[in-house]
Chains A and B, each alone.
Chain A
Amino acid sequence: AQSVTQLGSHVSVSEGALVLLRCNYSSSVPPYLFWYVQYPNQGLQLLLKYTSAATLVKGINGFEAEFKKSETSFHLTKPSAHMRDAAEYFCAVDAGGTSYGKLTFGQGTILTVHP
């Protein structure tokens, strides 16, 4: 079985500051991991994915995440926050195998960016 824990339901940063959103996972198989972003009144948009290739994954809008198997983590970072990054971010793990597409989500982290 898979599970995802996102540490911190709310994160607040200043514009230009480092963004760090934490995600730890549990998976019985080598995981496929994802970060999705949800802007107000919109759907879940894929930011980036880890599929067992490079451990440092670059996504859209300047975000990146590093897969660390020893720490079972997949934290999301961005060097410099922008006001438009304010949204809710979800980490998810794919069950894999015959259950590809069955995602288990974390509870989400709301990112607030203030001037």
Chain B
Amino acid sequence: EPEVTQTPSHQVTQMGQEVILRCVPISNHLYFYWYRQILGQKVEFLVSFYNNEISEKSEIFDDQFSVERPDGSNFTLKIRSTKLEDSAMYFCASKGTSSGANVLTFGAGSRLTVL
């Protein structure tokens, strides 16, 4: 079954460093998303991306964050100047456009720890 692949599975970084989290969505999907889950809290929407641009972003997704689809397969989340409160599990998801496709397929997540 097709799956969404995320790397790295776990990254530890120092406060103030830049981090790039990578995702390979399902190959024929056109909608891409990032969600995050801070330990003990709800999974929350960060951003959606379609046709090479951001469709919607939450209030969390400020100038510290950016997304990019640098080639035909990868979808990245960049976090500049990381803060302690950025420590979380980050989930990538993708969605197709065919009938019955209103379903997101999630990756296994990338756990970010900021020290």
Contacts and interface: CB of A to CB of B under 8 A. Distances in A.
Indicate the size class of the contact surface on chain B: 20 to 34
B43 A102 contact: no
Given A101-B48, A102-B48, A107 B42 contact: yes
A47 to B, nearest CB: 11
B91 A46 contact: no
Interface stretch (B12-20, B68-76, B104-112): B104-112
B106 A49 contact: no
A105 B55 CA distance: 19
A90 B91 CA distance: 14
Interface residues of A, number: 25
Interface string B1-43: 0001010000000000000000000000001010100000111
Contacts of A104: 45
Tell me the dominant secondary structure on chain B's binding face.
Answer: strand
A100 B42 contact: no
Interface in A50-73: 51
A30 B103 CA distance: 16
Contacts of A90: 43
A32 B102 contact: yes
A43 B103 contact: no
A46 B103 contact: yes
A41 B44 CA distance: 18
The 6 A-B residue pairs with the shortest CB-CB distance in the complex, in nearest-first order = A44-B106, A43-B108, A105-B43, A43-B106, A107-B42, A105-B42
Interface of B: 4, 6, 31, 33, 35, 41-45, 48, 55-56, 91, 93, 95, 102-109
11 contacts: A43-B6, A44-B91, A46-B105, A90-B43, A98-B55, A100-B95, A101-B102, A102-B45, A105-B43, A105-B44, A107-B42
